[in-house]
Structure 1
Amino acid sequence: MSAPGSRSARARWLPLIVFGAILSLLAAGVWLSRDPDRNALPSPLIGKLAPAFVLPVLGEPERLVSGDDLRGAPYLLNVWGSWCPGCREEHAVIEAFARTQRLPVIGFNWKDEPEDATRWLAQFGNPYALVLADYDGRAAIDWGIYGAPETFLVDGDGIIVWKHVGPMTDAVVRDQLLRQLDRLDIR
């Protein structure tokens, strides 16, 4: 049996304990958000064959390209849309990387109007060797895409070896992508 008044003492401390727990969770969230690799979300597709797809080429709706058509050489798949502020933010980085010609950069235009996407590329430049158009977003579901921009590195066997969520930066290219390319001996 508990001493008289001990229950009321615990009841008085309960709000302070709850407040302390919430404050601890918030502090942990702030501390974790300082991680420079916070956008490197684990993907269940890493190490697995890229999802099958057949998509039209932007500006050439009668030309269809499948995942099998891309197999045989590694490529970087960059998910973008003309409506996406982060895509505009990363565009110069994608262009600079594409100029290295280390591997083809394939554009994956997601949930965009063809006219808007074409106009956007005309305005900002087209770094892509090929632009696939996923107008309804169905192919993106299989890739696990939930936002733009996202970028995938796919090896010559069609295996997804790396994924980056969010805008590509010079630091991401230098510290993550180029290390992956070196690991795969892609020169």
Structure 2
Amino acid sequence: MKRLLLPLMAFAVLVVVLAAGLTHDPRRLPSVLIGQPAPFFDLPTLQASNERLSSQALRGRVWILNVWASWCESCRDEHPLLLDLAALGIAPVYGMDYKDEREPALQWLAMAGNPYQASIVDRSGQTGIDYGVYGVPETFVIDRAGIVRYRQAGPLTRDSLDGVIVPLVKRLQHEGLNG
């Protein structure tokens, strides 16, 4: 009897673990960066590799960082929403071209439209690691003090844009005027 009970219990535990995994939303990955200073970067820009952009240069304004790559299918899916977000003009959108090649990235932006004030190039992926990037795309909202206020793993959706990001950015812009 014990010989049958042990495998049956092991199977039951496995079923519980797998069932718990199925209820987990991969877009709701926790981020230790929320409420913490955004990691420092000083990287070349995609548009002009002899120019650099640093996180320090962005202090004093609310900004959005979108991690993307030309080889990323989900990035292509979210791209129209990034164009919409940039068109709102509520905060500058910066890109981080992640583990990508320069020419395909430039070609993609020329073809699809460029929502970014600038894109920094993270060819090694080190800055992405500093930000805790699990994969592309990911989007971060950073406040005037350089604090990460929101992170979305996975592609933006209309609901996340209209229901979370836009209201948050507007609130942060308002706080900056009154704080």
User: Shared topology, TM-score over 0.5?
Assistant: yes
Where does residue 3 of structure 2 map in the other structure? 11
Unaligned 5+ runs, structure 2: none
1-structure distance, mates of 2:28, 2:167: 14
Q: Please, which of 151, 156, 176 is the counterpart of residue 168 of structure 1?
A: 156
Provide Cα deviations, 1:41-85, integer angstroms capped at 9, x if missing partner: 211111111111111111211111111111111101000000111
Q: Offset of 1:185 from its aligned partner?
A: 4.5
Matched residue SS, 2:32: coil
Q: Structure 1 residues 186, 75: CA separation in 2 closer, same or farther (over 3 Å shift)?
A: farther
1:44 aligns with 2:36: no
Q: Offset of 1:177 from its aligned partner?
A: 1.3
1:127 aligns with 2:115: yes
Where does residue 109 of structure 1 map in the other structure? 97
Where does residue 62 of structure 2 map in the other structure? 74
> What is the correspondence of 1:75-90 to structure 2 with a 5 Å cutoff?
75-90=63-78
Where does residue 99 of structure 1 map in the other structure? 87
Mean alpha-carbon deviation: is it higher for 132-141 or for 96-105?
132-141
1:22 aligns with 2:10: no
Mean alpha-carbon deviation: is it higher for 114-123 or for 13-22?
13-22
Matched residue SS, 1:47: coil
Q: Offset of 1:186 from its aligned partner?
A: 4.5
Provide Cα deviations, 1:64-109, integer angstroms capped at 9, x if missing partner: 1111111111101000000111100110111111111111110111
Matched residue SS, 1:39: helix
TM-score (norm 1): 0.87
Q: Which has the larger radius of gyration?
A: 1
- Contact 1:102–1:186, Cα closer than 8 Å, also in 2: no
- Contact 1:80–1:149, Cα closer than 8 Å, also in 2: yes
The CA RMSD measured in Å over matched residues stands at: 1.7
- Contact 1:50–1:159, Cα closer than 8 Å, also in 2: yes
1-structure distance, mates of 2:28, 2:149: 12
Unaligned 5+ runs, structure 1: 1-8
- Contact 1:150–1:167, Cα closer than 8 Å, also in 2: yes
- Contact 1:53–1:67, Cα closer than 8 Å, also in 2: yes
The structure 1 segments of at least 4 consecutive aligned residues displaced by more than 6 Å after TM superposition are: none
Paired residue total: 175
Mean alpha-carbon deviation: is it higher for 97-106 or for 38-47?
38-47
Matched residue SS, 1:184: helix
TM-score (norm 2): 0.90
1-structure distance, mates of 2:21, 2:123: 36
Provide Cα deviations, 1:123-164, integer angstroms capped at 9, x if missing partner: 111011111111222222211223110100000111111100
Amino acid at match of 1:26: L
